[in-house]
Amino acid sequence: MISTPGGVIQAAAGILPAALLILLGGASLVAILLKRAARNRRDGSPEQNWAVPVIDQAGGDSPFHCWDVRFKLVSLLAFAFFIVATRSLTSALLALGLAALTAAAARVCWKRVGRRLLAMSGFLAMFVIVMPLTAVVYPDDTLLVFPEISRLPLNLRGLELALAICAKACAVALLMEPLLATAPLSTTLEGLTRLGVPPKVGQMILLAHRYIFVFLEEARRMTIGMNVRGFRKRTQVETLRVMGNFLGMLFIRSFERTHRVFDAMQARGFEGVFPQQAQFHAQPSDWLKGAFFLALGLFLVIFDRLWS
């Protein structure tokens, strides 16, 4: 069905229930597949060493892995800002395609990218549901009316705006993989320090990255111990009391571990600054890559303003 601006489209009866059933079935199927994949991964994979978490792919071979971290941070973050500055759905979809090509060029793990996008889907779905129903109606807007909910017309302009927001969010999320997964986190944070970010910020991020996995593993072990002792989550006051004790004990253990880590760092001569291990030397290729992404971002904004 082709709509014209400023009109009202009357949808056929039964379309809305059918669409809801399809969405519900698809969501249920995805949930089942994810649950099975998580179970297989948990049963078949060896126990990880959370003392040294590895969440990047710094050992890969791509133009992003050999790119100077300083240029990579400035260029890709600027490109992300250019993406957010677009307005139309066409430009947002173009930005999403460019971000996907960038991730493919970086040879990132698409399973991890999919999990990241799936984690965002619940939040982004609220925009798709709420904005078409709550957008202000202008004279040239097209409204889609379902017989089942005739008092709540669907504003197609609001739907287009919501889809543009979702596309831009997914594009920025795709850029985070080439930005953060193609170099060790310590090197990336050291590059931020060279760009003028206070060293304390990088130290806090590095320590948080290292020990948040330790705390998660501690919480998992405590949960297993509670389940072995017969604890089951129920909607009752006793469950709330046990969970309160669980969170309190986890906080105490984390607090004690933090003090032990700080004492160990001082015993090894820590004076507030981590030793610098990465050496940065700008090459002509680093400048060319940075100029390419800046020009690509400018083209995207110009396309959005003039042609889209």
Range of the structural domain that residue 246 is part of: 198-269
Residues 69 and 214 in one domain: no
Within a domain: residue 149?
yes
H-run or E-run covering 155:
strand 154-155
Residues 300 and 151 in one domain: yes
pLDDT > 70 fraction of the chain, expressed in percent and rounded = 83
Residues 129 and 244 in one domain: no
Residues 168 and 301 in one domain: yes
Within a domain: residue 83?
yes
Residues 86 and 134 in one domain: yes
Say how far apart CA 224 and CA 227 lie, in whole Å.
5
Within a domain: residue 77?
yes
Torsion region of 2: left, alpha or beta (phi above 0 gives left; psi -120 to 50 gives alpha): beta
Q: Comparing 144-158, 184-198, 242-256, 261-275, which segment has the lowest mean pLDDT?
A: 144-158
Within a domain: residue 85?
yes
Residues 261 and 168 in one domain: no
Q: Number of structural domains, the chain? A: 2
Q: Per residue in 43-75, pLDDT tens?
A: 555 555 545 555 556 667 788 888 888 999 999
Position 2 scores a pLDDT of 39
User: Residue 197: is its pLDDT beyond 80?
Assistant: yes
Residues 179 and 203 in one domain: no
Residues 91 and 157 in one domain: yes
Position 58 scores a pLDDT of 63
Residues 176 and 203 in one domain: no
From the number of C-beta atoms within 10 Å of its C-beta (0-12, 13-18, 19+), residue 277 rates as exposed
CA distances from 293 to 79, 109, 179 (A): 6, 22, 12
Residues 64 and 177 in one domain: yes
Q: Are 42 and 224 in contact (CB under 8 A)?
A: no
Alpha helix stretches (DSSP H) within 149-236: 156-180, 185-194, 199-228
Position 54 scores a pLDDT of 55
Residues 204 and 288 in one domain: no
Position 3 scores a pLDDT of 45
